[in-house]
Structures are given as structure tokens and as C-alpha cells.
Amino acid sequence: MLLLAPTQTTALFNYLTALFDVLFRRRFDEKWQSNSSSAGLGQQQKLEALSKYLRAYTKIFKKNPRARFFNITYVDAFAGTGRLRGRELGPLAKYFPGWAESAEEYRKGSVPRALEIEPPFDKYIFIEKDSEKCEELKTLAARFPSKSIKIINEDANSALLKWCKQLDRNHERAVVFLDPFGASVEWNVIAALGRTRAVDLWILFPFFAVNRMLIRNRKPPEAWATRLTKVFGTRDWESEFYSSTEWESLLDPKRPIKLISKTADPYTISDFFIKQLRKEFVKVSEPLALHNSTGSLLFLLYFAAANQRSAENRAENRE
Ligand SMILES: C[S@@+](CC[C@H](N)C(=O)[O-])C[C@H]1O[C@@H](n2cnc3c(N)ncnc32)[C@H](O)[C@@H]1O
């Protein structure tokens, strides 16, 4: 059986992360500075960045004789239907050759984009909570009869925790894409993915939803505070994002006046999330910022790379 020596796995890992930097990092930085875009364009940038990475990933794992040892899986945990929402083209479309085709291409969601990657992954897992969307995914999967596709109709958090437990980290590697609408990914799931040391993670952080919960002149109500703690994996967001000052009241010296203010800006929030990701992953990118048409920051897309420690341990312990 072919095993990777520590130096080989490190080289492979360095190659993948360097590739990520070359392909996306400069654009990430530019976008983070940018203040306006359109939601549709952001969606395309996100899917394009992911597709380019998946293409490079499968190429490395299928063509490199040493990396071929691993079985590779793509997990799309907020899979959708395979088709992005958007206005349908009207009857005029038939008068413009190629128009309908490019619109279809534009509407392609993460699932068909991943299924079309060559060389392919060994396995595809699509998780979707909505049962009707799962039916659409089944129709889509039928178009790819040669591929091993599993569709799971379940909450992404519970499905991923189960998947992490059964992952054979000595023989498997995976890319997991988390593309939620809102703040529904729980930190314990991100931590479980990181601890496999076998997963490269693409995660869309719901900046707008999180920022809205971080209200200005007082701490968030307890239900929101609990949600924020689930998103960040710690209650430390409270001291990171808020400051409080206290002074004596002239009217009643026994009841000091306490002023709470939000100090967090988008960069502080992003840096805090990156700090959390770095506790579980070896390398974390700066984000790609996705804005809406009026320039509001909606989401931040991060890439977090797996640790190769398990493979190194295995190589060290080989007979
Ligand atoms: C932003 S869409 C995903 C779009 C998809 N990545 C694409 O490119 O076509 C989010 C999807 O996650 C599903 N969803 C929402 N909450 C979920 C959960 N807790 N577990 C699994 N799926 C969920 C929604 O039904 C929706 O289809």
C-alpha cells in the first residue's frame, strides 16, 4: 500500500495552499476593499472561486501518484436544487442565439458545477433540509449515472457531525462547502470538520445576519447572544465586540451609570472568526467579501485548509 511520508504530505499541502493563494488571494483582498458589487455577481464569484479550487484539487488527487492513494469526496451541505434563483428569460430569448445557454450557465448552482468537474471526485454528498429540493437534486443526480452521489435530506449540522464520525481519515480526503442563507452553521460542526484533519472547508459567513444581532448600545438579547455563541464557538465575542464604561451618577451615587457600546466593525468581526477558524485548521484565507447592489456587506467567504497531521502520524507509524 502506498503511504505518504511526512515531507510528501507537507509538500502536497503547501502546493494546494500556494495554489489557493495564486488563484484567489489577490482577488479576495481587492474585494474586501471594494464597497459595491451586485448580489448576482457575488454569487458567481463565490461559485467560480470554489469551482477553480475543486478543479485543482481533483487534478492533484487524481494525477499525483502519491495523492492518488486517497479517496476524495465533495460535500455540499446546503446544497439547494442545483439551480440559482433568478428571473426567467422571456419569449424574446429565442431571437438571441446563445442567450438562453449563457443564462443557464449563469444559473448553475454549486451542485452541478461540482458534478461537472474533471477529473471527478470519488464520491459526492449533498445535504439539503428541504425535501422538495432533495427531489430536484435526485433528478439532477440522475443525469450523472456514472457518479457516486448520496443525497441526505437532513439538517446540515447533524448530518455533518455524523459524517465526520464515520470518515476514515487515513484513506479519505474531502472538500466541504457550507453555503447557508443565514447564521445556521454551528461552531461545533466547524470544529468537528477541522479535527478530522482531512477536510478543506469553504464557508460562507453570514456577516449581515451576525452584524444585525450585534446591536449598538446594549448587549444582544439572550436568544441572539446564544445564537452568536453557537456561530463563533465561544462567548468571547461579547468582550471582543463591546466595551463598557461606568461612572458615578450625580443623582444616585449608589447606582452607577453603565454605558455599553459596540466597538466591532466588519474587520474586527472577520478577524475574530479567522482567529476561531485557526484553532481548528492549519491555514485560513482572508475572506472574499460579497456585497449587495447597494454596497451592503452580506457575506464573507473563507477557505480553511486541513491539517495533514493524521497522514503524517500514519506515515510515521507505518511498519
Ligand atoms: C444559499 S442556498 C444554497 C445554494 C447552493 N449552494 C447553490 O449554489 O445552488 C441554501 C440552501 O440550504 C438549505 N438549508 C437551509 N438550512 C439548512 C439546514 N439547516 N440544513 C441543510 N440545508 C439547509 C436551503 O433550503 C437552501 O436550499
Tell whether ligand 1 has an atom less than 6 A from the beta carbon of residue 183. Answer: no
Query: 253 and 307: one domain?
Result: no
What's the pLDDT tens digit per position in 87-119? 555 666 666 556 566 667 778 999 999 999 999
* pLDDT value for 271: 97
**Residue 234 vs residue 319, higher pLDDT:** 234
Distance 268 CA to ligand 1 centre (A): 27
Q: What is the mean pLDDT of residues 271-288?
A: 95
CATH code for the domain of 21 = 3.40.50.150
**Residue 48 vs residue 318, higher pLDDT:** 48
Distance 179 CA to ligand 1 centre (A): 6
Query: 233 and 88: one domain?
Result: no
Count CA within 13 A, CB hemisphere, residue 56: 19
* pLDDT value for 99: 58
Query: 132 and 172: one domain?
Result: yes
- Could you give the percent of the chain with pLDDT greater than 70? 78
Q: What are phi and psi of 119, to 5 degrees?
A: -65, 155
* pLDDT value for 1: 40
Q: In the 8-state DSSP scheme, what is residue 108?
A: B
Query: 188 and 253: one domain?
Result: no
- pLDDT of 30 > 60? The answer is no
Query: 120 and 236: one domain?
Result: no
What's the pLDDT tens digit per position in 53-85? 999 999 999 998 888 899 999 999 999 999 987
Q: What is the mean pLDDT of residues 241-267?
A: 88
Tell whether ligand 1 has an atom less than 6 A from the beta carbon of residue 156. Answer: yes
Taking 3-state DSSP, the helix, strand and coil percentages for the chain, each rounded to the nearest 5, stand at 50, 20, 35
Q: What is the mean pLDDT of residues 19-24?
A: 58
What's the pLDDT tens digit per position in 186-215? 999 999 999 999 999 999 999 999 999 999
Query: 163 and 256: one domain?
Result: no
Tell whether ligand 1 has an atom less than 6 A from the beta carbon of residue 287. Answer: no
* pLDDT value for 38: 60
The answer to whether the beta carbons of residues 282 and 306 sit under 8 Å apart is yes
- pLDDT of 312 > 50? The answer is no
Query: 134 and 44: one domain?
Result: yes
Q: How far apart are CA 78 and CA 108, in angstroms?
A: 15
- pLDDT of 120 > 50? The answer is yes
Query: 239 and 290: one domain?
Result: no
C-alpha cell read off for 96: 438571441
- Could you give the percent of the chain with pLDDT greater than 90? 65
Residue to substitute in 181, 189, 204 for testing ligand 1 pocket (most ligand atoms within 8 angstroms of CB):
181
Other C-beta atoms closer than 10 Å to the C-beta of 95 total 7
Residue to substitute in 51, 124, 125, 128 for testing ligand 1 pocket (most ligand atoms within 8 angstroms of CB):
128
- pLDDT of 19 > 70? The answer is no
Q: How far apart are CA 236 and CA 272, in angstroms?
A: 9
Distance 14 CA to ligand 1 centre (A): 31
Distance 128 CA to ligand 1 centre (A): 6
Of 263, 282, 301, the domain-final residue = 263
Distance 244 CA to ligand 1 centre (A): 38
Give the confidence band of 236 by pLDDT, cuts at 50, 70, 90.
Answer: very high
* pLDDT value for 143: 97
Lowest mean pLDDT among 30-39, 113-122, 172-181, 258-267: 30-39
Spatial neighbors of 255 by CB under 8 A, at least 6 apart, are: 249
**Residue 108 vs residue 251, higher pLDDT:** 108
Give the confidence band of 217 by pLDDT, cuts at 50, 70, 90.
Answer: confident
Q: How far apart are CA 242 and CA 223, in angstroms?
A: 17
Q: Whose CA is nearest to atom 7 of ligand 1?
A: 109
- What's the mean pLDDT when you consider all of the chain? 85
Give me Rg for the CA atoms of the chain: 22
Q: How far apart are CA 73 and CA 257, in angstroms?
A: 56
Tell whether ligand 1 has an atom less than 6 A from the beta carbon of residue 80. Answer: yes
What's the pLDDT tens digit per position in 122-171? 999 999 999 999 999 999 999 999 999 999 999 999 999 999 999 999 99
Q: What is the mean pLDDT of residues 47-55?
A: 94
Q: Whose CA is nearest to atom 27 of ligand 1?
A: 80
What is the residue range of 254's domain? 215-263
Q: How far apart are CA 131 and CA 82, in angstroms?
A: 14
What's the domain count of the chain? 2
Which segments of the chain are extended strands (E)?
Answer: 71-76, 123-127, 149-152, 172-178, 199-205, 242-247, 257-262, 283-284, 288-291, 297-305
Tell whether ligand 1 has an atom less than 6 A from the beta carbon of residue 127. Answer: yes
Q: What is the mean pLDDT of residues 21-31?
A: 50
* pLDDT value for 314: 34
Distance 272 CA to ligand 1 centre (A): 25
CA angle 14, 117, 170 (to 5 degrees): 50
Distance 75 CA to ligand 1 centre (A): 13
- pLDDT of 248 > 90? The answer is no
Q: Is residue 1 part of a domain?
A: no
Q: C-alpha distances in angstroms, 113 versus 49, 79, 122?
A: 11, 11, 15
Query: 253 and 270: one domain?
Result: no
Tell whether ligand 1 has an atom less than 6 A from the beta carbon of residue 129. Answer: yes
Other C-beta atoms closer than 10 Å to the C-beta of 35 total 10
Tell whether ligand 1 has an atom less than 6 A from the beta carbon of residue 109. Answer: yes
Of 263, 285, 303, the domain-final residue = 263
